[in-house]
Amino acid sequence: MDSAVPKTVDLAAEYEASGVAEVLRELDEELIGLEPVKRRIRETAALLLVDRARRDMGLSHETPTLHMSFTGNPGTGKTTVALKMAGLLHRLGYVRKGHLVSVTRDDLVGQYIGHTAPKTKEVLKKAMGGVLFIDEAYYLYRPDNERDYGQEAIEILLQVMENNRDDLVVIMAGYADRMDKFFSANPGFRSRIAHHIEFPDYSDAELLRISERMLEEQNYVLSAGAALALKEYIDLRRKQPHFANARSIRNALDRARLRQANRLFQTAKGPLDAEQLSTIGEEDIRASRVFRGGLDVDRPAEGEKA
């Protein structure tokens, strides 16, 4: 055996030196909840650390399959975790650049003959050396439309996922039931994806913590009454159609900030201090239609018109 090949490895030291510990710490600090997801990411990191150690000792020569499937409802952090995964894979040397390219069907599939291949290949070119994140991947497959060009994009993706797996990681994301149907109809994807990670919905308590963090990042706070109202809002909103976890909460807070600004503009008499400008009041939350039995859905991303 070559004398340059190490005979032993200190995995704990490798863990710290690689920067993986930093990525996982960021994941814990930046994402509330999602414990099953974080556990799977840590397990994947351990697998890759061991694989790299084996490779350094001449025990492993084949790049592991790293393509992934993220399943869960909207607003559960799939894109954020994909970005962290890109950084983790880069630090471990499994991708050259560690960037994330996020796309949907419209970025890959053309509208006429000869349009899909160049679109798909251009996206893949941008993603090489990093991670390609395909949101709502099942929309690539539309068997009911014989003039649809999604199948062409699928065939190109399958070929690149197999032949360039040492330079590109593909993460496909979407609702669990639709992804299952998609994989059943396109078994080539299932055979190329080794890691399936399920993203749970956030609990009400986690959504309240997420809302407080979102406001804190923008130098806002909730009054005591507003915090209680928001807790009630979350419970009511979850029971309505098109609930999108943290995304729905972000939209609700945007509306609350709008109401707060208008309230201050209309009622303020004299100068306002920083506390007044930064406090979301109970009335700003309770003005939502949710408390009157209506739908608090007025953004296209939420799936309904106001």
Burial of 222 (0-12, 13-18, 19+ CB in 10 A): buried
- Tokens describing residue 4: 């340059």
> What sign results for the dihedral spanned by CA atoms 234, 240, 246, 250?
negative
Same domain, yes or no: 176 and 262? no
- 126-151 confidence digits (pLDDT tens): 999 999 999 999 999 887 776 778 89
Strand partners of residue 100: 131
- 194-213 confidence digits (pLDDT tens): 899 999 999 999 999 999 99
Identify the domain boundary among 184, 199, 214: 199
Q: Which amino acid is at 232?
A: E
Same domain, yes or no: 34 and 164? yes
* 4, part of any domain: no
**Rounded to whole angstroms, what are the CA distances from 199 to 65, 67, 152, 243, 281?**
21, 17, 29, 15, 32
The whole-angstrom separation of Cα 236 and Cα 73 is 18
User: How much is the pLDDT for 306?
Assistant: 26
Average of per-residue pLDDT across 49-59: 86
The whole-angstrom separation of Cα 57 and Cα 161 is 27
Strand partners of residue 70: 173, 197
The boundaries of the domain holding residue 272 are 204-302
User: How much is the pLDDT for 203?
Assistant: 96
**Which residues are CB-neighbours of 290 under 8 A, at least 6 positions away?**
233, 236, 237, 240, 296
User: How much is the pLDDT for 232?
Assistant: 97
Identify the domain boundary among 153, 169, 199: 199
Indicate whether 253 pLDDT > 70: yes
- 262-292 confidence digits (pLDDT tens): 999 999 888 999 999 999 999 999 999 999 8
Identify the domain boundary among 199, 227, 260: 199
The pTM for the full model equals 0.86
Indicate whether 36 pLDDT > 60: yes
